[in-house]
Structures are given as C-alpha cells and as structure tokens.
A and B are shown apart, each in its own frame.
Chain A
C-alpha cells in the first residue's frame, strides 16, 4: 500500500496531451472474484465512488461538464490518501458488455495519453467473476534519450502497475464481503 502511494506521489508532473514518447505501454491485470458478475459490475461502473474499493483513493468527486463539442461528459476527481489528485473522464460504461472506459486528463501519475478499460465477465467457475483491468499510455518525456528521471517508460509502468495491483485484490475483498 505505502509503496503504491509512494509511487503515485513520487512525481507530480504535467500531462502532455498532444505529443508523447515513441512507444505506447500496456499494463493488464486480472482478478477472479467469488461473487455475482452483476454485483461486481455494480462496483466497477460506479464512476463516482472509487473510494469504496480502491485503497489509495480517499474520496471521489463527480461532475458533468460540456466538452469542446458541446456534449455533456462525466468527469471525476480522485483525491488520493497519499496526497495529490487524478482528474479522469468517463468514456463509456456499457452494461451489456460490462465494460468501463475512462481516460486521465491530468494528475499525479507519471503517464501521458492514458486510457483504460475495466471488463467484467462471468467465470471461469460457477459463481465466479473475472475482472480485467487494462491501460494503454505513454511515458511523460516525449523525445529520444536521455530521458529525465521519473519520466521514462519504467516509471510510468510501475506507477500504473502499483495502482492495479493495489486495486484488484481490494475490489475482490469488497465484492466478496457482503
């Protein structure tokens, strides 16, 4: 836990939305939960309440704003227990496919162009549910080496890995609790 928080607050860096490093990076983690898929999906899709299951999140603030095309969009601000915030945009919450998609607009994670999806599926066993969390992102530093410390691929990957590895077991615990 402390390691995760340390990773998250390690670098407070602006996100560069326009340009990015050469290669996109990926983190993908999975957890099997002994609970009904609908119950797990209920927790995952609740975009405004991530603090209910993620141990690094102290509180979540939800807001609706118009984007540049004039369409109403949902955003959340995650306030982290270790300090700092992450501002995210909901891309979609599909009840049929049980898939949540969101992206990071700005925040303390040392990543750029981060988009992520959480997919909930029944199985593998009866009464079990599998949650897959996948993110695609770039490192903060967009140019070729030398890369400043904390802005390289490894920093980005380990920060996201930390978030996922702390979150999924906690999601399992919350879903299996009641």
Chain B
C-alpha cells in the first residue's frame, strides 16, 4: 500500500536536498522510498495567487488543490512569476509601487523592494537570472538581478507596458503595450526595441509557445487574440469573448485558453483550426491563467468571485473551485513546477 505524504515544509526541504544529488542517486532514493512504502513526496506544484484586495498571496498545492499558505505582501498585488531554480515567487504590488519576493520552500516573505511607478507585468529570463518588470505608468521595462534584486537597467518602451514573454534562447523579449496597441520586440543584448508590431486594441496578456515560433497576444478592447508568427511577423486573428485578459497554451501546445473577464468564461482555441471551439463558464471576472505542467490542468484566478477554478484541459470540465483571497488576479505564470520533476526530465 502506498502512503501519500502531504507536502509539508519539512518534505519540501527534503526535495531540495535530493536536488543536489546526481540522477542515479535520486533513482536509488526513489526506489528505496517506494520499497519502503512511500511515494515520492516531491511532485507537487504550487500556484501563487495574488489577492489585490487583501494584499496577500494564496499558495495552492496543485496536488490537493488546497491553500497551504497565505503570505502578506505589498499593496494591491497583481503580477506574479515563479522560479524553481531560484526558489522564489516574485510579486508586483501596483499600488504599493514595489516587488515582493517570497521564498517558495518556506512560503514566507523574503523582502519587498520599492519600484518607481506602477509595476504590473513580471517575467524571468530562461536562465532565471534576470527579472523583467513592466512599469505601467513610467513606460519602461526594468531589468533586475533576480537574486540580489538590484536594478541593472531600464529599457524605454511603448505606452503602458503590461504582459511580457521571452524567446526560449532569451534573446527576444516581447512586451504588450496596452496604450500603444502594439507589441515591442526588445533585443535583450542591446536592450533596444528592434521592432514594433501593431496588434488589436489594448493588448494585455502575452504567451509564447515552447519552440518560440508563435506569440499569442490578448487584445482586450478588440475581443480577440493575435497569433504572431515570430519568424515572418505575420498575424492571424482569432475571436474570443468579452474583454479578454490573459492566455496560456495547453501542455501539448495545440490549444489556447483565454480568460474573458466580462463573460465570466474561458475561450478554448484550437490552433489547427485557428478558432474558438468551446467557451467554459468559470468564476466571476476571470483574469490570470496558467497551466500546471504535470497534469496539464488549467488554473484560473477569478477576481470577481475570489476563487481559483481548476479546468481539466482534456475534458474541458471544471474540476474544482478553490476559495482564495479578495480580488484574485495572478497576472503572469503563477504555477511553480516541482523542482525534482524538472531535474529528472532534463
């Protein structure tokens, strides 16, 4: 009989110790654990949900789909990005004009760092060394050392930069400029905008596919998604619901899930057909959306109903709704993959 270990803090510390051992040793430990009647405790992920109204982050264990911790951060948290390598969750506090950093092993606040302006969008470079912060009112992208949290540079950008995405090699940074109705492509070496591509009205959320060949742009006022071919820069447009905000590809990359804030729904786009194939009712005013890599489940933060909906990406059914804090937003990639899972896959 297998005994399931709940992901306690102690278990999470063990995971990190395991990480430091070479692969054969991990296998040996795994076999030993299994033979002794224990399942590996290290496969559970965590979702970090920003709650604008409570100034907190709800941490959800994605195995049990329960809240395991609530962390106090700065004023009106909105953006989030997580790093398994750094063992950190980064939170943008738009009213607090600051970035809060959470230790994802202890699920405790490490520190809060002031930022001039209104930080909203957050992104990490593929090597997790650089944190990009989109500043909504100053129209700049801050480049910050993700460990020391020192600001390294400021990149002048279009108006009201919001969502960001980056190429897998880390060379091209894409920024949705809400009030310029375009996406800027920034060369991360020269830190200059190399191109600006017109999209729909008020682009907000961005996502990129695994290979980096396609960028997905959510146009809030146009009620559609621009699919940008990152090689020839051609755009195809796909209609979604009312006032869409954020987007994530499915695990296999064949579908896109888009939150429609004023329809209380998620549009499912089939990329082969280049059209929406289903609309799923979720909570009220859904904003942030992320995919959990182990199960492929889609997590949706509902600002209006203070909860997270978990959607099965295959059956397109809602699996559960998790009560979070007041006005959940979770703008960004908010699910921390299991570190051990990633190590073994690599």
Interface residues of A (CB under 8 A from B): 18-19, 22-24, 26, 28, 91, 101, 115, 134, 136, 143-144
- The reply to whether A91 and B160 contact each other, CB–CB distance below 8 Å, is no
What's the least CB distance linking B53 to chain A, in Å?
8
- The reply to whether B76 and A22 contact each other, CB–CB distance below 8 Å, is yes
Which residues of B in the span 269-322 have a Cβ within 8 Å of any Cβ on A? 284-285, 303-304
- The reply to whether B137 and A26 contact each other, CB–CB distance below 8 Å, is no
Q: In the bound complex, what is the Cα–Cα distance between A101 and B285 (angstroms)? A: 13
Q: In the bound complex, what is the Cα–Cα distance between A23 and B55 (angstroms)? A: 12
> Which residue of chain A is the closest to B261 with respect to CB atoms?
A136
B103 interfacial by beta-carbon distance below 8 Å = no
Which of A18, A22, A91 touches B136 (beta carbons < 8 Å)? A22
B7 interfacial by beta-carbon distance below 8 Å = no
Q: In the bound complex, what is the Cα–Cα distance between A115 and B327 (angstroms)? A: 16
Which residues on the B side are within 8 Å of A91 (C-beta)? Answer: 242, 262
Main secondary structure of the interface of B (DSSP, over half): loop
> Which residue of chain B is the closest to A26 with respect to CB atoms?
B327
- The reply to whether B262 and A144 contact each other, CB–CB distance below 8 Å, is no
- The reply to whether B137 and A23 contact each other, CB–CB distance below 8 Å, is no
Which residues on the A side are within 8 Å of B285 (C-beta)? Answer: 136
1/0 contact string of B236-262 vs chain A (CB within 8 Å): 000000110000000000000000001
What's the least CB distance linking A59 to chain B, in Å?
28
Q: In the bound complex, what is the Cα–Cα distance between A22 and B285 (angstroms)? A: 17
Inter-chain pairs besides A22-B94, A23-B95, A91-B262, 19 sampled, C-beta below 8 Å: A19-B179, A22-B95, A22-B118, A22-B136, A23-B76, A23-B78, A23-B94, A26-B53, A26-B304, A26-B327, A28-B304, A91-B242, A101-B262, A115-B243, A134-B284, A136-B285, A143-B137, A144-B97, A144-B118
> Which residue of chain B is the closest to A153 with respect to CB atoms?
B95
Which residues on the B side are within 8 Å of A143 (C-beta)? Answer: 137
Which residues on the B side are within 8 Å of A101 (C-beta)? Answer: 262
Q: In the bound complex, what is the Cα–Cα distance between A144 and B95 (angstroms)? A: 8
Write 8 A-B pairs (CB below 8 A) sorted by A numbering.
A22-B94, A23-B78, A24-B327, A91-B242, A91-B262, A101-B262, A115-B262, A143-B137
Interface residues of B (CB under 8 A from A): 52-53, 76, 78, 94-95, 97, 117-118, 120, 136-137, 160, 179, 242-243, 262, 284-285, 303-304, 327
Q: In the bound complex, what is the Cα–Cα distance between A101 and B284 (angstroms)? A: 13
Which residues on the B side are within 8 Å of A136 (C-beta)? Answer: 285, 303-304
What's the least CB distance linking B29 to chain A, in Å?
46
Q: In the bound complex, what is the Cα–Cα distance between A144 and B114 (angstroms)? A: 14
Which of B52, B78, B117 touches A144 (beta carbons < 8 Å)? B117
> Which residue of chain B is the closest to A101 with respect to CB atoms?
B262
The 5 A-B pairs with the shortest beta carbon distances in the complex, nearest first, are A22-B94, A23-B76, A22-B118, A22-B95, A23-B52
What's the least CB distance linking B314 to chain A, in Å?
27
> Which residue of chain A is the closest to B160 with respect to CB atoms?
A19
> Which residue of chain A is the closest to B118 with respect to CB atoms?
A22
Q: In the bound complex, what is the Cα–Cα distance between A110 and B206 (angstroms)? A: 31
Which residues on the A side are within 8 Å of B304 (C-beta)? Answer: 26, 28, 134, 136
Looking at A18, A22, A101, A136, the one whose CB has the most chain B CB atoms below 10 A away is A22
What's the least CB distance linking B162 to chain A, in Å?
12
- The reply to whether B137 and A144 contact each other, CB–CB distance below 8 Å, is yes
What's the least CB distance linking B163 to chain A, in Å?
16
Q: Given A19-B160, A115-B262, check contact A24 B303 (CB 8 Å).
A: yes
Which residues on the B side are within 8 Å of A28 (C-beta)? Answer: 304
> Which residue of chain A is the closest to B281 with respect to CB atoms?
A97
What's the least CB distance linking B219 to chain A, in Å?
15
Which residues on the A side are within 8 Å of B137 (C-beta)? Answer: 22, 143-144
Q: In the bound complex, what is the Cα–Cα distance between A101 and B264 (angstroms)? A: 12
Q: In the bound complex, what is the Cα–Cα distance between A39 and B308 (angstroms)? A: 33
Q: In the bound complex, what is the Cα–Cα distance between A136 and B327 (angstroms)? A: 11
Looking at A19, A24, A91, the one whose CB has the most chain B CB atoms below 10 A away is A24
Q: In the bound complex, what is the Cα–Cα distance between A150 and B118 (angstroms)? A: 21
What's the least CB distance linking A142 to chain B, in Å?
8
Q: In the bound complex, what is the Cα–Cα distance between A18 and B76 (angstroms)? A: 21
Q: In the bound complex, what is the Cα–Cα distance between A115 and B221 (angstroms)? A: 13
- The reply to whether B179 and A18 contact each other, CB–CB distance below 8 Å, is yes
Looking at A18, A26, A91, A101, the one whose CB has the most chain B CB atoms below 10 A away is A26
> Which residue of chain B is the closest to A19 with respect to CB atoms?
B179
Which residues on the A side are within 8 Å of B327 (C-beta)? Answer: 24, 26
Q: In the bound complex, what is the Cα–Cα distance between A164 and B285 (angstroms)? A: 19
